[in-house]
Amino acid sequence: MTLKQAQSKGRTAELLTNTIGQHLDAVAARDPAHPALIMPHQNIRWTYGEFVREVDRLAAGLLALGIEPGDRVGIWSPNRYEWVLTQFATAKMGAIMVCINPAYRLYELEYALNKVGCRALVTAEAFKTSHYLKMLQNLAPELEDCAPGELRSKKLPHLEIVIRVGDKQTPGMFNFPDVCGMGGEAEAARLKEIGASLKASDAINIQFTSGTTGTPKGATLSHTNILNNAYYAGQTMRFSPADILCIPVPMYHCFGMVLGTLVCVAHGATMVLPCEVFDPLPVLKAVQDEHCTALHGVPTMFIAELDHPEFRNYDVSSLRTGIIAGSTCPIELMKRLIGEMDLAEIVIGYGQTECSPIDAMTDIDDPFEARVTTVGRAHTNWEMKIIREDGSTADVGETGEVCARGYGVMQGYWEDPEKTAEAIDAEGWMHSGDLGEMDADGYVKITGRIKDMIIRGGENIYPREIEEFLYTHPDIQEVQVFGLPDPKYGEQVAAWVQLRPGSSLTPEDIRAYCEGQITHFKIPKHIKIVTEFPMTVTGKMQKFVMRDEYAEELAREASAARA
């Protein structure tokens, strides 16, 4: 390796070798009276001693139902205390927790449960317009006539046990509170035996990728993967038991369950989950009432908090740090977080589910320019490099695919060796599909997705560059740039723009703002003013949806104009 090559290695440190359950028990033993879990929307306020007791009750109950180490247990719910208990109970008794996207519908649910062979499912009653129990009954009408725990379903052949949240009775299903009371002395003793026999290298979690291209894949992660990623992410934020983290991001994703709850447990800090699904007001209230020192979110969440009419009515001065992730943070937003939200030590995290998830982070002490224009450097015990299409390492400053290697790379996609081999090469490098560049000091900039790159008349255009420029306009709140098919140039630049309240900015005004500031072929030809964007539950923008919808809309307009 030469200094000119875009490759770097993060700090090295000793990896944690215990399991999640062992680590949780040790933290609770040190200070059982320390606040562990606070959930205002469910009136939950548990110390670490109480939290471990509740985790153990659920784990013993799962053992009483016959669930064994290695069995897959799905969790399908918004952010509730039952989610957090399931996360740590399955870890303690050796089952593999499978995170089911709360937004999944029938086809997606059936696919996910069958893909990994879920034997049990913990489910909420409903989430927004998703009526979980009705969907399950649609897929498995056999629930109506079977005893709880004895499901034999034609469409869901692996699923035997359904545990529903709440106290209501539903045919064929157990109630969550009842399961927590099923374990006796025998199950408690067995739980201890299992806890001592588990290995840190055991698979403990399956996270489904977003599936924006093709069917979702189940990234399989171990104790070592996610516990260490959480621990070192917390170290980067300088976490200690004194910290109180507000977690408004969804638990089903690595951001919530690894960088949220597990970061807190890794450092003995306090978890605060303010609401079932993100809502800016409960978040601001929780930060104020619980004196939170840290707040996580994706850019759209922070924008919603900052721009809420009641933002100034809440005291957020206790904040100091947190992680902004999910997509690249606009420069102007980072300045507002530091200046208006007192998040002087906020850091950017970059990664992917397959890497548990953090590859790179900015440091609190990084120069301001690096904190607002990059995603930082390779994480602790981690390597990163930028490669060309032929697989060779790119030069410093050269754009290429971002690759990462280290302890956090997944074991593989569940029962999908071909897709695993496509993602992880023979040398252990995980290929992200992201475009980026690295400077001589190892700082990485993400410039877009490989498939997002726009090729207009032979010119390579990176949407992120245009987005960053448009964010400098004071009337623009959010913007997404993507390519649309064009018969002459191959593609043309298009932009969806969300304006700040009260703005009357027009597409013509936006193009005029670009004139003379960015290269002419980068100025969006098609601009649409919108009030919202299609996005995943984790806040990732779905540009492929925007592209398809806008292309159809423009085609209809063109057809009408010719008529």
How far apart are alpha carbons 287 and 153 in whole angstroms? 45
The number of C-alpha atoms within 13 Å of 254 and in the hemisphere containing its C-beta is 33
Query: Encoding tokens for residue 393?
Result: 């390492």
Residue 526 and residue 495: Cα distance in Å, rounded? Answer: 6
Distance CA 215, CA 521 (A): 35
Residue 461 and residue 447 in contact, taking contact as beta carbons nearer than 8 Å: no
Return the pLDDT at 38.
98
**Per-domain boundaries in the chain:** 20-33+47-199, 454-562
Is the CB of residue 455 less than 8 Å from the CB of residue 462?
no
CA–CA separation, 150 vs 277, rounded Å? 32
Give pairs for 13-18: CB < 8 Å, separation 24+. Answer: 13/232, 13/380, 13/381, 15/224, 15/228, 15/381, 15/407, 16/200, 16/224, 16/227, 16/228, 16/231, 16/266, 17/200, 17/224, 18/200, 18/223, 18/227
* Residues 72, 206 contacting (CB under 8 angstroms): yes
Q: Where are the alpha helices (DSSP H) in 312-416?
A: 331-340, 368-373
Strand, helix or coil for residue 236 = helix
Residue-wise pLDDT tens for the chain (563 aa)?
Answer: 444 799 999 999 999 999 999 999 999 999 999 999 999 999 999 999 999 999 999 999 999 999 999 999 999 999 999 999 999 999 999 999 999 988 788 888 898 999 999 999 999 999 888 899 999 999 999 999 999 999 999 999 999 999 999 989 999 999 999 999 999 999 999 999 999 999 999 999 999 985 434 567 999 999 999 999 999 999 999 999 999 999 999 999 899 999 999 999 999 999 999 999 999 999 999 999 999 999 999 888 998 999 999 999 999 999 999 999 855 677 888 889 999 999 999 999 999 999 999 999 999 999 988 988 899 999 999 999 999 989 999 999 999 999 999 999 999 999 999 999 999 999 999 999 888 999 999 999 988 777 787 878 767 787 887 898 899 999 999 999 999 988 777 789 999 999 999 999 999 999 999 988 887 888 999 999 999 999 876 677 888 889 999 999 999 998 888 87
**Which residue, among 509, 530, 525, has the nearest Cα to 466 in the 3D structure?**
525
Distance CA 173, CA 153 (A): 13
Short-list 311, 326, 361, 352, CA closest to 501 = 311
| pLDDT given at position 212 | 37
Antiparallel, parallel or unpaired: β 490-499 and 526-529: parallel
Q: How many CB atoms lie within 10 A of CB 527?
A: 22
Q: How many CB atoms lie within 10 A of CB 299?
A: 20
Q: Which residues of 376-415 are buried (b: 16+ CB within 10 A; e: fewer)?
A: bbbbbbbbbbbbeeeeebbebeebbbbbbbbbbbbbbbbe
* Range list of H helices, 331-394: 331-340, 368-373
Tell me which DSSP letter residue 325 carries: -
Count CB-CB contacts under 10 A for residue 516.
Answer: 8
Tokens of 40: 């205002």
Query: How far from chain centre, in Å, is Cα 483?
Result: 26
Q: What is the DSSP letter of 429?
A: P
- Using CA atoms of 446, 451, 457, 459 in order, give the dihedral in degrees to the nearest 10: 20
Helices (H) and strands (E) in the chain, counts: 18, 27
Tell me which DSSP letter residue 417 carries: H
Sign of CA dihedral 155, 156, 162, 164: negative
Q: Rounded to 5 degrees, what angle do the CA atoms 51, 319, 13 make?
A: 70
Dist CA 261 CA 88 (whole Å): 10
Say whether domain 20-33+47-199 belongs to CATH 2.40.40.20.
no
Residue with tokens 């359904």: 162
How far is the C-alpha of 78 from the C-alpha of 11, rounded, in Å? 36
CATH code of 454-562, in short, is: 3.30.300.30
Pairing of strands 323-324, 270-272: unpaired
Q: What is the 3-state secondary structure (H, E, C) of 38-105?
A: EEHHHCEEEEHHHHHHHHHHHHHHHHHCCCCCCCEEEEECCCCHHHHHHHHHHHHHCCEEEECCCCCC
Beta bridge partner(s), residue 323: 347
pLDDT of amino acid 213:
41
